[in-house]
Amino acid sequence: MNFSEFHFIRPLWLLMLPIFYVLCWWLYQRSDQTTLWTHYVDPVLLKHQLISAKSQKPVWSYLGLAGCATVAHLALAGPAWEKLPSPVFQSMSARVIILDLSKSMDAGDIQPSRLIRAKHKLIDLLDAAGDTQTALIIFTQVPYVISPLTDDTATIKAMLPSLDTRLPPVQGATISAALKKADELIEHLEGMPASIVLITDSKPDEASFKVASTLRNQGQTVSVLAVGTASGKPVL
């Protein structure tokens, strides 16, 4: 027990003690019939009017009440002899991973397929996330948020096996729409470094470059991880 670190967790409870002390004193004064009637009855007649001075409660009963109130308030104040270390703010960053689920990701020019290799790389990114909050977006013609920003990368990894090119209802590869969706997830993060990682086999168009340029001007980093080979391979 280290008394040098003695402190109260909820010290505001101690401010109520003076009120209880005053209340106990007031109750004691009210119980003293002699004190109560001296303002109205002549002292000579007063001793004949009162039944007995013994009817007044002894002072120790009020001292006991004050003592119980003291003990109760000390307990509510939360005395402690050990200070827990205060949590230190950790500077965090945010990353949005965008995964292309267009049909071309099923091509086998890199084995076993572009999509599977992309998932392996995505797992590597999640494993190295550390304190970085991560979100996952899939896209074809339309982007879909699979996971908002979270530090629970295990949950994101658990969803990867179910991600398939047959999952999106429409096909296509609109990168600009996916980048805009990523921006929606991180635009409210004031002062937090944010980055976007695009995993795709599609060629960015002019609209994509324009959105990426806007994101860069906002202080966000956009990285592209291309999958596939120059020669490619037919998708069956």
Boundaries of every domain in the chain: 3-80, 94-226
Judge contact between 123 and 157, C-beta under 8 A. Answer: yes
Half-sphere exposure of 135 (CA within 13 A, CB side): 21
pLDDT digits (tens, 9 = 90+) for 198-209: 999 998 899 999
Q: What pLDDT is attached to residue 53? A: 46
| Gap between the Cα atoms of 236 and 229, Å rounded | 17
For residues 27, 77, 79 and 3, what is the CA-based torsion angle, rounded to 10 degrees?
Answer: -80
| DSSP codes, 94-123 | EEEEEEE-SGGGG--SSSS-HHHHHHHHHH
pLDDT of residue 140: 94
pLDDT value, residue 23 = 80
pLDDT at position 13 is 78
At residue 89, the pLDDT reads 47
Four-CA torsion 182, 184, 186, 187, nearest 10 degrees: 140
In the CATH scheme, what is the code of domain 94-226?
3.40.50.410
